[in-house]
Amino acid sequence: MEPKPTMTPDEIEAHFTLDELFVSRTDERGVIQSGNPVFVRVSGYPLEKLLGSPHNIIRHPDMPKTVFKLFWDTLKSGQPIVAYVKNRSIDGKPYWVLACAFPIDGGFLSIRIKPTSSILGQIKSLYSEIAKEEKIKGIPAAAKLLEQKLAEMGFNTYFDFMSHAAAAEIKARDEGLAANQKQAAPEQKYGETHFLAKEFDEMNRVCVDRAKDFQSLLLKLEEYAGIDSYIGTRISTITQATNRLEALAVNMSISSHRLGSKGATLSVVASTFKTAAKEVLKIVEDLKKQLSPVVEELRPVRLNLMISRLQSEMLAFFTKEIRDFSSKYAVRAIPHLKDIQNDTTILIDQISIYFKKNIEQLDRILVVLDEMRDRLLKGKAALQSLDVIRLGGRLESAFEKSTEEAFGPYVQEMLQFVDVIGKPIMEVLLLVEGSKRFFTLSKNEIRRNLSALLILELRRNRIAYLEPNKEDAA
State the pLDDT at residue 198: 59
| Residue 249 near residue 270, CB atoms below 8 Å | yes
State the pLDDT at residue 187: 46
Q: Hey, which of 128-132, 241-245, 436-440 has the most confident mean pLDDT? A: 128-132
| Residue 264 near residue 405, CB atoms below 8 Å | no
Longest Cα–Cα distance in the chain: 113
Q: With 80 as the cut, is the pLDDT of residue 394 above it?
A: no
| Residue 46 near residue 204, CB atoms below 8 Å | no
| Residue 22 near residue 103, CB atoms below 8 Å | no
Q: With 50 as the cut, is the pLDDT of residue 330 above it?
A: no
Residue 247: HSE in the Cβ half-sphere, 13 Å Cα cutoff:
6
Q: When comparing pLDDT for 295 and 89, which is higher?
A: 89
Per-residue confidence at 152, pLDDT binned at 50, 70, 90? very high
- Judging by beta carbons within 10 Å of its beta carbon (0-12, 13-18, 19+), is residue 286 exposed, middle or buried? middle
32-55 pLDDT tens trace: 999 888 899 999 999 889 999 999
**CA 284 to CA 465: how far, in whole Å?**
60
Q: With 80 as the cut, is the pLDDT of residue 143 above it?
A: yes
Domains and CATH numbers, the chain: 9-141 (3.30.450.20), 219-469 (1.20.1170)
| Residue 437 near residue 223, CB atoms below 8 Å | no
Per-residue confidence at 68, pLDDT binned at 50, 70, 90? very high
Helix (H, G, I), strand (E, B) or coil at 474: coil
Q: Hey, which of 163-167, 213-217, 414-418, 470-474 has the most confident mean pLDDT? A: 163-167
State the pLDDT at residue 218: 65
Average pLDDT over residues 312-332: 65
Average pLDDT, the chain: 77
**CA 420 to CA 243: how far, in whole Å?**
12
SS (H, E, C) 100-154: EEEEECCEEEEEEECCCCCHHHHHHHHHHHHHHHHHHHCHHHHHHHHHHHHHHCC
274-289 pLDDT tens trace: 777 777 777 777 877 7
164-192 pLDDT tens trace: 899 899 889 988 988 877 544 444 444 44
Helix (H, G, I), strand (E, B) or coil at 20: coil
Residue 367: HSE in the Cβ half-sphere, 13 Å Cα cutoff:
8
Strand partners, 102: 109
Q: With 70 as the cut, is the pLDDT of residue 372 above it?
A: yes
Per-residue confidence at 201, pLDDT binned at 50, 70, 90? low
214-268 pLDDT tens trace: 666 666 666 666 676 777 787 787 777 777 766 676 776 676 666 666 556 666 7
Average pLDDT over residues 319-336: 57
Contact residues for 112 (Cβ-Cβ < 8 A; gap 6+) = 21, 22, 23, 39, 85, 97, 98, 99, 100
Average pLDDT over residues 96-125: 94
% of the chain exceeding 90 in pLDDT: 28
How crowded is residue 352: how many other Cβ atoms within 10 Å of its Cβ? 18
Residue 405: HSE in the Cβ half-sphere, 13 Å Cα cutoff:
5
CA distances from 223 to 289, 434, 435 (A): 22, 11, 10
State the pLDDT at residue 332: 47
Per-residue confidence at 107, pLDDT binned at 50, 70, 90? very high
